[in-house]
């Protein structure tokens, strides 16, 4: 069991042990630094959710509970699935679609590593204590992402077409 400081919460311990692989750090450093647009999840509860990617005749959908959201491609669905699992209300999505697959890989890796760390950290505890710890860590991630923010609905574009000064 990981114990760095008795005054730290489990989320702080895991965040410190993960360093740059902590999901909010990736979001702040690698996503918010890009030109992004905000994406709002409608009616997703602020808790851990089961999010699935479904392939339909009309394209790719992200299903969270009973809600279905159309996604333009698989990489965007993978990217959004990480945040839907956490229960975020709104997130920033990179405007450059070529950067989304790499970010989706990093975010999914961070998510799995976080769950592994929670499992390792709570080894030997009761099932209820393990579930409570997992919920606290996910809540801390969600709170950090919401404090970073989703940015503007649409990125600003330079409207000047003049090429010479």
Q: What pLDDT is attached to residue 134?
A: 95
Which residue, chain included where needed, has tokens 């999914």? 108
Cα 141 to Cα 28: distance, rounded to the nearest angstrom: 12
pLDDT digits (tens, 9 = 90+) for 55-68: 999 899 999 999 99
Q: What pLDDT is attached to residue 161?
A: 63
User: Exposure string (b/e) for 101-134, b if CB count within 10 Å is 16 or more?
Assistant: eebbebbbebbebbeebbeebbeeeeeeebeebb
DSSP 8-state symbol, 10? H
Position 4 in a domain: no
Q: What pLDDT is attached to residue 155?
A: 61
φ/ψ bin of 115: left (φ > 0), alpha (ψ from -120 to 50), beta (otherwise): alpha
Position 3 in a domain: no
Q: Is 19 helix (H, G, I), strand (E, B) or coil?
A: helix
Position 157 in a domain: no
Q: What is the mean pLDDT of each run of 10 residues along the chain (165 residues)?
A: 59 94 96 91 91 94 94 96 96 94 97 96 93 95 94 67 63
Domains of the chain: total: 1
Position 163 in a domain: no
DSSP 8-state symbol, 29? I
Q: What pLDDT is attached to residue 2?
A: 46
Position 160 in a domain: no
Domain housing 86: 10-148
């Amino acid at each position: 069991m990981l114990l760095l400081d008795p005054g730290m919460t489990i989320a702080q311990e895991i965040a410190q042990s993960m360093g740059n692989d902590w999901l909010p750090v990736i979001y702040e450093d690698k996503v918010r630094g890009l030109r992004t647009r905000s994406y709002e999840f409608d009616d997703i509860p602020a808790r851990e959710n089961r999010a699935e990617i479904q392939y339909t005749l009309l394209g790719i959908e992200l299903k969270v509970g009973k809600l279905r959201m159309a996604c333009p491609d698989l990489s965007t669905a993978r990217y959004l699935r990480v945040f839907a699992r956490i229960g975020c209300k709104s997130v920033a999505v990179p405007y450059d679609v070529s950067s989304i697959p790499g970010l989706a890989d990093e975010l999914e890796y961070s998510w799995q590593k976080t769950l592994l760390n929670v499992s390792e950290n709570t080894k030997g505890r009761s099932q209820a204590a393990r579930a409570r710890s997992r919920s606290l860590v996910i809540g801390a991630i969600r709170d950090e992402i919401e404090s970073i923010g989703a940015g503007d609905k649409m990125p600003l574009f330079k409207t000047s077409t003049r090429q010479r000064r």
